[in-house]
């Protein structure tokens, strides 16, 4: 197998589409013969500066490109964030200050460092060039598209059919994203399948600007922990790449069984045959394996193993975790009532919520459910408390300073 085919095989793995593959092959060929790395673009909306496993799918692909010697351009869409991606109309986005942007950029770099080789990664902000466009330029961009084309985009047509509003500025989003590709002279752009239209807009505009068109690579959209909707912070079904080992492990254990295969494919390097074999075994063990693989990828094998044993300790054997956070309580009026103490420390959202929890048997003190009424903390005793499924803490008496 020659080098081109070898690279192609690596890139093809796990992707949905390469549009068009022939052009991609040509680009690879040229890159190899001229010893000139391809410019691989990946863009992200900085409104929620938290990368999660859903983002990791395309980013892992970027890593493949880096390993093959290509150049990765990680674009933070600070300017386009002002418009908002049309997928889901929310209220006007707050305008980020330069400081906030700078800060966000840094957090991206930190998070991306878990997945990418930062030495080989270029971080860019699209405000750099989009801010300079004048109205004439914008009109030029719009002339490359017709309303019908834009409206054809799935989420637009759906919203239009359902009688949901579409604001005019949203029409501009794909154009701006496409112009990013012009400004960056990208050879390849990677995104999830839902981004296909936006990614293709880059091709249209590059052509309009007399450039060679980028190749579009789409990767699957990862379902979130609910197993239904795509992983997203807004749906609250996401697993951040910065999650602690324990948290990450537990969240993965909570995915529905039928999602395991997908997660193995998109989020681990376990080869195809390995996945088959694991999935043919006991589902609980398969899921533990999955959780271990992913957790270890981000936290190292030792932490992965620890997370696994803690998980079994807490949820299978129903023991307390080996380490419990300590909180102090004082002897003052209502503070001695357990619910008030918890509420005061923001460990439960409200007193009403705490009472509900208590009524449902969701509060345990020293291993026993608190059944009737308020539990009174008696100084100077210490208590091991479990609130709900996940919160363990030790309340220690402390005299008021």
Partner RNA sequence: GGGUAGGUGGCGGAGCGGCCAAUCGCACCAGACUGUAAAUCUGGCGACCGGAAGGUCUUCGGAGGUUCAAAUCCUCCCCUGCCCA
Quick one: which H or E segment has residue 328? strand 325-329
β-strand partners of 9: none
Distances (CA, A) of 151 to 130, 158, 174: 23, 9, 11
Q: What is the closest distance, in whole angstroms, from the C-beta atom of residue 346 to RNA in the complex?
A: 11
- Residues 321-340: x where in contact with RNA by CB under 7 A, - otherwise, as a string: -------------x-----x
Q: Which tokens in the block code for residue 302?
A: 């030792």
The single residue among 21, 26, 207, 247 that binds RNA, judged by CB under 7 A, is 247
Cis, bond preceding 380 (omega within 30 deg of 0) = yes
Q: How many positions of this chain bind RNA (CB under 7 A)?
A: 45
Q: Which tokens in the block code for residue 62?
A: 């970027």
Buried b or exposed e, range 302-335, using 16+ CB within 10 angstroms:
ebbebbbebbeebeeeeebeeeeeebebbeeeeb
- How far apart (Å, rounded) are the C-alpha atoms in residues 242 and 302? 17
Residue 230 contacts RNA per CB under 7 A: no
Considering only the stretches 42-50, 191-199, 209-217, 356-364, report the one whose residues sit in contact with RNA under the rule CB under 7 A: 356-364
Considering only the stretches 42-50, 93-101, 244-252, 264-272, report the one whose residues sit in contact with RNA under the rule CB under 7 A: 244-252
Q: In terms of CB distance, is 12 or 356 closer to RNA?
A: 356
- Measure CA 365 to chain center: 36
CB 209 within 8 A of CB 123: no
Residue 342 contacts RNA per CB under 7 A: no
- Touching RNA, residues 259-318 (CB under 7 A): 283-284, 287, 311, 315-316
The single residue among 9, 151, 371, 390 that binds RNA, judged by CB under 7 A, is 390
What's the DSSP call for residue 118? Answer: G
Q: What is the closest distance, in whole angstroms, from the C-beta atom of residue 368 to RNA in the complex?
A: 11
Residue 388 contacts RNA per CB under 7 A: yes
Q: In terms of CB distance, is 81 or 239 closer to RNA?
A: 239
Q: Which tokens in the block code for residue 146?
A: 């017709």
- How far apart (Å, rounded) are the C-alpha atoms in residues 95 and 86? 17
The single residue among 374, 379, 393, 397 that binds RNA, judged by CB under 7 A, is 374
Q: Which tokens in the block code for residue 226?
A: 């609910």
Considering only the stretches 123-131, 140-148, 190-198, 385-393, report the one whose residues sit in contact with RNA under the rule CB under 7 A: 385-393
- How far apart (Å, rounded) are the C-alpha atoms in residues 130 and 126? 6
The single residue among 322, 356, 380, 381 that binds RNA, judged by CB under 7 A, is 356
- Touching RNA, residues 82-121 (CB under 7 A): none
Binding site for RNA (CB under 7 A): 160, 163-166, 226-227, 236-237, 246-247, 249-251, 253-257, 283-284, 287, 311, 315-316, 334, 340, 343, 349-353, 355-357, 360-362, 372-374, 388-390
């Amino acid at each position: 197998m020659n080098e081109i085919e070898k690279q192609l095989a690596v890139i093809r793995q796990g992707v949905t589409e390469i549009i068009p593959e022939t052009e991609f092959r040509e680009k690879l060929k040229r890159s190899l013969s001229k010893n000139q790395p391809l410019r691989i673009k990946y863009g992200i909306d900085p409104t929620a500066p938290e990368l999660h496993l859903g983002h990791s799918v395309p980013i892992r692909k970027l890593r493949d490109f880096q390993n093959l010697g290509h150049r990765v351009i990680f674009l933070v869409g600070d300017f386009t964030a002002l418009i908002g991606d049309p997928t889901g109309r929310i209220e006007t986005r707050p305008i980020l200050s330069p400081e906030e942007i700078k800060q966000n950029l840094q957090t991206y770099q930190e998070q991306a460092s878990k997945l990418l080789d930062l030495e080989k990664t270029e971080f860019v902000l699209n405000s750099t060039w989009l801010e300079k466009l004048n109205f004439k330029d914008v009109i030029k961009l719009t002339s490359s598209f017709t309303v019908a084309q834009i409206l054809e985009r799935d989420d637009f047509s759906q919203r239009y059919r359902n009688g949901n509003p579409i604001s005019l500025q949203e029409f501009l989003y794909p154009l701006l994203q496409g112009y990013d590709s012009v400004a960056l002279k990208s050879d390849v752009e990677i995104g999830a399948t839902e981004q296909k239209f936006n990614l293709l807009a880059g091709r249209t505009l590059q052509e309009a600007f007399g450039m060679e068109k980028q190749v579009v690579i789409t990767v699957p959209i990862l379902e979130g922990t609910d197993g239904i909707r795509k992983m997203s912070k807004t749906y609250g079904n996401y697993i951040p790449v910065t999650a602690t080992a324990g948290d990450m492990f537990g969240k993965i254990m909570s995915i529905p069984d039928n999602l395991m295969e997908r997660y193995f494919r998109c989020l681990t390097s376990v080869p195809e045959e390995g996945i088959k074999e694991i999935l043919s075994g006991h589902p609980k063990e398969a899921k533990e394996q999955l959780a271990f693989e992913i957790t270890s990828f981000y936290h190292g094998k030792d932490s992965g193993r620890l997370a696994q044993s803690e998980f079994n300790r807490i949820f299978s054997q129903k023991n307390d975790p080996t380490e419990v956070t300590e909180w102090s309580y004082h002897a003052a009026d209502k503070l001695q009532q357990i619910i008030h103490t918890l509420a005061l420390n923001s460990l439960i959202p409200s007193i009403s919520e705490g009472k509900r929890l208590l009524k449902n048997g969701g509060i345990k003190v020293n291993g026993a459910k608190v059944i009737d009424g308020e539990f009174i903390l008696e100084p100077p005793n210490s208590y091991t408390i479990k609130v709900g499924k996940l919160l363990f803490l030790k309340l220690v008496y402390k005299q008021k300073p």
